Amino acid sequence: MSVSPDHAPVVPPLPTDEPAVPSDAAVGASGCTLLYVLPKRWSLFYCLTKTQWQKLRDRHKNLYPDWERCSCPKGCKADSLDERWNYDKVTHTKVFVGASFICKGCHWLKSLPHRIETWLKQQTGRLPEQSKPPHIIDCLGWSQEQVDVLRQRDLRLHQVESSRLQRVVQQAQQGKATVVPSPVERLSPAEVSSFIRPGQVAVVPWRLDLSALSRYGYSPAEIEAFERRMYDVAAERMASITSW
Ligand SMILES: [Zn+2]
Ligand SMILES: [Zn+2]
């Protein structure tokens, strides 16, 4: 369906501000060019052990006894603990701000990777026929046109981000860029010079700030351990950057 630009329906604000194109270049203190990337599937859910994640869920339930009801119009049954993050684009820091239990439909809308997966399946006819209107229309009250606009926008951004990543991979293969699996300030000067040759673009992960976990009773040492774990996962993801 084509939408005339004059009458393009406006997409309601999305419940997340995850930057769609998370990599952009900045000049680092050492004078080299830094290209920040936001690893995929880089959240507490993906990085904590099952037991650690269960503990976080339990602590949340204890703090918020009405956790079972999602805040969407129909108050659907909440079953996924959704992490809320802020993305500070100036300092390239992914900041944990809290969590809440939300329903499956709201969780789908919040997650760009989930949406992209759905749109791509739809494009290739791998999405099963829906028997009832999707949650986004039925509960959240979006029009089909708004959903179409969201789909077009998501797919366009997905394309932009994919080709940016492809360029990075190419640059790395040609030796013009190098993947540094940690924020530069976490490395010693010796490590920096062993990773980055003069003139190379350094591809680095975003920074993290998990300090808000203290609200759930985590100690500074536990928070630091979670951050270290997430940087380790970033390094693993970045090592296989070609398969993003
Ligand atoms: Zn709902
Ligand atoms: Zn909901």
Q: What is the tens place of the pLDDT at every residue in 64-79?
A: 999 999 999 999 999 9
Q: Using 50, 70 and 90 to split pLDDT, how confident is the model at 3?
A: very low
Q: Tell me how far the alpha carbon of residue 110 lies from the centroid of ligand 1, in angstroms.
A: 13
Q: Tell me how far the alpha carbon of residue 111 lies from the centroid of ligand 2, in angstroms.
A: 13
pLDDT digits (tens, 9 = 90+) for 200-242: 889 899 999 999 999 999 999 999 999 999 999 998 888 877 5
Position 102 in a domain: yes
> 22 or 144: which carries more pLDDT confidence?
144
Residue showing tokens 């269960």 = 54
Q: Are β-strands 80-88 and 93-102 bridged in parallel, bridged antiparallel, or unpaired?
A: antiparallel
Average pLDDT over residues 101-115: 93
Percent of the chain scoring above 70 in pLDDT: 88
β-bridge partners, 88: 93
CA distances from 190 to 52, 138, 187 (A): 34, 57, 8
Q: Tell me how far the alpha carbon of residue 56 lies from the centroid of ligand 1, in angstroms.
A: 24
Position 2 in a domain: no
CA distances from 177 to 48, 73, 91, 197, 203 (A): 30, 48, 21, 9, 7
Q: Tell me how far the alpha carbon of residue 58 lies from the centroid of ligand 1, in angstroms.
A: 23
CB 9 within 8 A of CB 149: yes
Q: Is the pLDDT of residue 154 over 90?
A: yes
Q: Is the pLDDT of residue 39 over 50?
A: yes
**φ, ψ of residue 233 in degrees (nearest 5):** -65, -40
Query: Which of 16-25, 37-46, 97-106 has the lowest average pLDDT?
Result: 16-25
Position 202 in a domain: yes
Give the dihedral sign, CA 60/66/69/72.
Answer: negative
CB 97 within 8 A of CB 212: yes
Q: Tell me how far the alpha carbon of residue 73 lies from the centroid of ligand 2, in angstroms.
A: 8
Alpha-helical runs (H) found in 70-143? 104-110, 112-123, 135-138
Q: Is the pLDDT of residue 166 over 60?
A: yes
pLDDT at 1: 46
pTM of the model: 0.83
Position 195 in a domain: yes
Q: Tell me how far the alpha carbon of residue 77 lies from the centroid of ligand 1, in angstroms.
A: 8
Average pLDDT over residues 126-145: 91
pLDDT at 23: 60
pLDDT digits (tens, 9 = 90+) for 177-201: 888 888 888 888 888 888 888 888 8
Which 3-state string (H, E, C) describes 168-237?
Answer: HHHHHHCCCEEECCCCHHHCCHHHHHHHCCCCCEEEEECEEECHHHHHHCCCHHHHHHHHHHHHHHHHHH
pLDDT at 7: 56
* Domain limits for position 114: 12-243
The tally of domains found in the chain comes to 1
Position 230 in a domain: yes
**Which ligand is closest to the CA of 142, given by its number?**
1
Q: Is the pLDDT of residue 17 over 80?
A: no
CA distance linking residue 30 with residue 194, whole number of Å:
13
